[in-house]
Structure 1
Amino acid sequence: MTTSTPSGPPKSTAREYFESIVIAVILALFVRTWCFQAFKIPTGSMENNLLIGDHLVVNKFLFAPAAFEKALLPIRSFRRGDVVVFKSPEDPERDFIKRVIGLPGETLELRHKKIFINGAALEEPYVHYLLPPRPDGEMTAFDKRETYGPVNVPQGHLFVMGDNRDNSQDSRYWGFLPQSYVKGRAVMVYWSFESDAADYERPGLEQLLAGLTGFVTKTRWGRLGQQIQ
């Protein structure tokens, strides 16, 4: 009777744990790089749909530009109304979140805070105004919050705007967004913490402690799992 001998010494428990952790980290980095990413809302430019302190899941492969990705993944073109996370055209180190309003080849105009696409008024149930639009017969100031365009959206670009129209730095101020700058589409709120912009300006440790002590009392439980429309 013969017995087989192991090819090497048995792995220690510590080594098995270490290898499991390494594999988990690699998988997490792969998912973060190619599939999904977390993003938190630091400003009120998308109120009242997205609030300061909302933490979002961003689908990164929906608009993937590479040919092999398009062949393998459920990728589609940009659509009006998509809420997208993108690199700021003015500072690519910063990420912004806005809604796609104008698509390539379209003519866009803002009159009395109302958007017109190719001459037709756009219905926007998601829009929030700090001040209501003025009556159509009343003259408006040359203010980009009220009057803009008409402009033609170039190929390969998008015109994006915040839902909080009177408090959003968007395409009205810095121009068209290159599609290549888009990181992904925001799909869901996975956590929401009642906060304000000042909380994100605290040092890292203070921000962490504030988050731990207020987890229960400041979490907006009703927003967890909310789909982004």
Structure 2
Amino acid sequence: MKTMESIENEEAAPRAEHQTETPLESLASIASVLAVGLFVMTFVFQNFEIPSASMVKTLLIGDHVLVDRISLAPPAKWAPFTFYRDIHRGDVIVFLKPGEPDLFLVKRAIGIPGDHIHLRNGVVYLNGVAQKEPYAAMPTSDGDPQHEYNPYRDDFPSIPPDPMYQVTASWQYELPQHIENGDLVVPPGKIFAMGDNRPDSLDGRYWGFVPRENIVGRPMFVYWSFETPADQIEKQSISERLAFMGHILVHIVDQTRWKRTFHLIR
């Protein structure tokens, strides 16, 4: 005759056996998590590092940002539940540089289709109205040659494009076709974008419009910011990259810009 204790032990054994996860089930669970994570980081969010000073003060060299790849993407029939909106003036956008499909850039949308734009002494005039842009750096006379007045850059598009101004050959040809009464007119399906650090930004003034389909998203916030030298972008060799990775490991605490963590990008 079985005792109550033996019956309880016999009932507990199957339960324990049932709760044990096989190696195959564990692998399937891990694969599922990785697949979801890969989907999210590929189609929903993506991280980018800011390598240049073209968006200072909004974004600093060494800022790592999380980019929303959904809201500015073309609407998809397979995902009608996703939020979508078009580009607004003033949006900070991430896009593939025209003519260089492997290069991501971050700039601010200045003009949308139909807008008339010109600059005078670095100030943007949008449809005839001077814009107040507290985030934008202007040309100065502080002795830095990069910040001194440049007629092509600061009075755009009043000066004909020329290779001496680092203007691309395609933009030299195309720019005159979009000028009306001294204004640049943004054509359908295009965005005119510039960096916030206007004296130190190779942007739409030098290579033209951003096709709407090139825009991949908008940066939402800085999730990590590390003090990075301005010339780090030029150091591409394996030894230089490894050296900087070692530098980060040593100085991750004292050279992290903690105050910029979760800094919202506007």
Given that 1:64 and 1:70 are in contact with CA atoms closer than 8 Å, whether structure 2 keeps it comes out as no
Other structure's SS at 2:253 match: helix
1:215 and 1:171 map into 2 onto residues whose CA distance is 35
| Residue 90 (structure 2) pairs with residue 81 (structure 1) | yes
- Quote how far apart the aligned CAs of 1:141 are: 5.8
2:155 and 2:52 map into 1 onto residues whose CA distance is 21
1:219 is matched with 256
Given that 1:160 and 1:171 are in contact with CA atoms closer than 8 Å, whether structure 2 keeps it comes out as yes
1:145 is matched with 154
2:189 and 2:32 map into 1 onto residues whose CA distance is 38
Given that 1:42 and 1:196 are in contact with CA atoms closer than 8 Å, whether structure 2 keeps it comes out as no
1:176 is matched with 209
Spell out, residue by residue over 1:49-95, the C-alpha distance to the aligned partner (whole angstroms, 9 max, x if none). Answer: 21000000101001121342673211111111111111011311010
Given that 1:104 and 1:156 are in contact with CA atoms closer than 8 Å, whether structure 2 keeps it comes out as yes
Instruction: Please point out which of 42, 45, 49 is paired with 1:36.
Output: 45
| Residue 215 (structure 2) pairs with residue 206 (structure 1) | no
1:71 and 1:123 map into 2 onto residues whose CA distance is 37
Spell out, residue by residue over 1:13-58, the C-alpha distance to the aligned partner (whole angstroms, 9 max, x if none). Answer: x434422321121111110122110011000000112100000010
2:24 and 2:243 map into 1 onto residues whose CA distance is 35
Amino acid paired to 2:68: N
RMSD: 2.2
1:189 is matched with 222
| Residue 132 (structure 2) pairs with residue 123 (structure 1) | yes
Aligned pairs for 1:51-62 (under 5 A) are 51-62=60-71
Amino acid paired to 1:165: R
Other structure's SS at 1:212 match: helix
1:95 is matched with 104
Amino acid paired to 1:212: L
Given that 2:63 and 2:224 are in contact with CA atoms closer than 8 Å, whether structure 1 keeps it comes out as yes
| Residue 197 (structure 2) pairs with residue 160 (structure 1) | no
2:131 and 2:201 map into 1 onto residues whose CA distance is 19
- Quote how far apart the aligned CAs of 1:157 are: 0.6
User: Unaligned 5+ residue runs, structure 2?
Assistant: 1-13, 15-19, 142-148, 158-181
% of aligned pairs identical?
38
- Quote how far apart the aligned CAs of 1:167 are: 0.4
1:183–1:141 CA distance, 2 compared to 1 (3 A): closer
2:226 and 2:256 map into 1 onto residues whose CA distance is 4
Structure index of larger Rg: 2
| Residue 119 (structure 2) pairs with residue 110 (structure 1) | yes
Deviates more, 1:140-149 or 1:118-127: 140-149
| Runs ≥4 residues deviating over 4 A | none
1:163–1:191 CA distance, 2 compared to 1 (3 A): same
Other structure's SS at 2:73 match: coil
1:28 and 1:44 map into 2 onto residues whose CA distance is 31
